[in-house]
Structure 1
Amino acid sequence: MEFWLSFVFVIGFVILHLISKRMKFIKMVPRSRLLSIVGGIAVAYVFLHLLPELGEYQAELEGEIENAFWSFLEHHIYLIAMVGLAIFYGLEKVVKLSKKRGANGENRPSSGVFWIHIGSFTVYNAIIGYLLIREEFSGPWGMFFFFVAMGVHFITNDKSLGETHKEEYDKYGRWLLATSIFAGWFIGVLTEVNEMVISLLVAFISGGIILNVMKEELPEERESSFTAFFIGIFTYSILLFLL
């Protein structure tokens, strides 16, 4: 049952990546209220589900790992979340710097920066696809809430990447992201890693999600709606508590 449900959801992720560019009703500036709600949903999922889950992983793994390096991470799993946040923040700074230096006055990053940026999100998506089949959800509803939170988060990312990289994203980026999430899921079908690796993946993704949501919601030029953002957080938090 869970296998087929995860298959349906990964196909849903792929479709979202391919059709997000056609969602003309979602504006980046001034920011669509829907995107602010989406940001709230993603933040609620990270803080009320993914981060508490890291605490559970840390408690379960305590004393189980003999290697000194991994044993250190076992007690500091949130460090990986911080690393994930820092990596994606660094990437955003590189992209902005490249846009300022754009050739012929074009306000877009160089081709090399495009591939680095898209490559990072390709890995990001593959990890989410892997977790879709290998994460321990609390039944079908738990997987459904993961799908909703990550699905709406993908819409935000796609809109942002499309705005930044324009034709290159339409031509290459969205196809890579759609393919990578299915590839991550397929790797999860074929292989299974231990709980320590799963916890590291969850931590890394948590940090990335927090940064990607905040960079879209906080800048003044986005003209975001705090009310819509709060509605997203509040509504999804209630649903997660009910679960």
Structure 2
Amino acid sequence: MYITFTFLCAFGFSLIHYFSRYMQFAGKVPRSRFLSMAAGVAVSYVFVHLLPELNEYQELVSERLKNSSLGYIENHIYLVAMFGLVLFYALERLVKLSRERNDLEDADEASSGVFWIHMASFFIYNAVIGYLLLHQRFTRPGGLLFYFLALAVHFITNDWSLRRDHQQAYDKYGRLLLSFATLFGWVIGVFTEISDFGISILQAFIAGGVILNVMKEELPEEQKSSITSFLIGVVGYTFLLLMV
């Protein structure tokens, strides 16, 4: 039964990417109240669930590496998360520099090469999330559902960001690639299994990407978000996480 639920989550993520071109509300300024609420959910997920989870993974990794040459390092898992954040930040800078260098009359798009680099990185990002659906441990009832909800609203804003950067190329190729990515990761997860140590590393890497994307897209001043809707998202999702 659990494997069926995880498949439905992976399929749900795929549908979000595939139909993202029709979610016109995501790109409006000022942002819709739904998007402001989604931002609140994402922020709550990072601070109430993701960061405490990283602390648990750090304990596991420290125990695994205590007798190795890396045992003297105290914050292994946070270094991996930082690497994920820095990697995705570097990709965003690459996209922005490419757009600035292109003198296009009809669109402000990044170059084709940068587009495929960006898509490859998010393909891996989404595939790892699909893989972790099967292998992440949810200690609370409803944990998988709340995980799905948080990442679903996160993917909606990610899709809007990618469409803003790449426009027609994203609608033609990118959304299809990312629609396939989570299902691909889920299928890999069905046939393979890695150790808790490996899961910890993957989770930390994804955490860095999530934190960067939350800061970059879901808390931007220029989007003129609704503070009321944002607070509803933060308080409501935090309440659900603390109650389950």
Both proteins in one fold, TM over 0.5: yes
1:152 corresponding residue in structure 2: 153
Q: Which residue of 2 aligns with 1:99?
A: 99
Preserved contact between residue 50 and residue 202 of structure 1 (Cα < 8 Å): no
* Aligned: 1:64 with 2:61: no
More deviation in 90-99 or 134-143? 134-143
2:211 aligned counterpart, secondary structure: helix
| Counterpart position of 2:35 | 35
Aligned-pair CA distance for 1:217: 3.4
Contact 2:61 2:77 in 1 (8 A): no
Q: Which residue of 2 aligns with 1:135?
A: 136
Match in the other structure for 1:118: 119
1:197, distance to aligned residue in structure 2 (A): 1.3
Task: Tell me if the contact between 1:133 and 1:189 (Cα under 8 Å) persists in the aligned partners.
Answer: yes
**AA matched with 2:216:** K
User: In the alignment, is the contact (CA less than 8 A) between 1:61 and 1:74 conserved in 2?
Assistant: no
For residues 162-215 of structure 1, give each alpha carbon's deviation from its aligned partner in whole angstroms, at most 9, with x where no partner exists: 122111001100011111111111111111111111111111111111111111
Alpha-carbon distance change, 73 to 50 in structure 1, aligned in 2, over 3 angstroms: farther
Other-structure match for 2:229: 228
The 8 Å contact of residues 85 and 210 in structure 1, kept in 2 or not, is answered as yes
TM-fit CA distance, 1:75: 4.0
Extract unaligned runs of 5+ from structure 2.
none
Q: Which residue of 1 aligns with 2:205?
A: 204
Distance in structure 2 (CA, Å) of the matches to 1:72 and 1:232: 40
How far is the alpha carbon of 1:68 from its aligned partner? Answer: 2.3
227-236 vs 25-34, greater mean Cα deviation: 25-34
1:57 partner letter = Y
Match of 1:84 in 2: 84
Q: TM-score, normalised by structure 1?
A: 0.92
* Cα distance, 1:140 vs structure 2: 5.4
TM-aligned CA deviation for residue 239 of structure 1: 0.2
Distance in 2 between residues matched to 1:73 and 1:42, nearest whole Å: 30
Q: Output the aligned Cα RMSD.
A: 1.8
- 1:165 equivalent in structure 2: 166
What amino acid maps onto 1:119 in structure 2?
A: A
Q: Take 2:80 and 2:7, find their aligned partners in 1: how far apart are those partners? A: 28
In the alignment, the residues of structure 1 paired with residue 216 and residue 38 of structure 2 have an alpha-carbon distance, to the nearest angstrom, of 13
* Corresponding position of 2:176: 175
| Inter-partner Cα distance in structure 2 for 1:46 and 1:189 | 27
TM-superposition CA deviations, 1:124-169 (whole Å, max 9, x none): 1011101111101125511111111111111111111112211100
- Structure 1: runs of 5 or more not aligned: none
Answer yes or no: is the 8 Å Cα contact 1:36–1:228 preserved in 2: yes
Contact 2:81–2:204 (CA<8 Å) still a contact in 1?
yes
| 1:24-77 deviation digits (Å, cap 9, x = unpaired) | 2333322222112112212211221122112112223433334424x4667421
Partner Cα distance (1:177, 1:140) in 2: 29
Point out the more displaced range, 117-126 or 31-40.
31-40
> 1:5 maps to what in 2?
5
Percent identity of equivalent pairs: 52
What is the DSSP-based 3-state SS (H/G/I as helix, E as strand, rest coil) of the residue aligned with 2:30? coil
Work out whether residues 28 and 159 of structure 1, in 8 Å CA contact, stay in contact via their aligned partners in 2: no
Which range moved further: 93-102 or 224-233?
224-233
Query: Are residues 1:23 and 2:23 paired?
Result: yes
Q: 8 Å contact 1:51–1:203 — kept in the other structure?
A: no
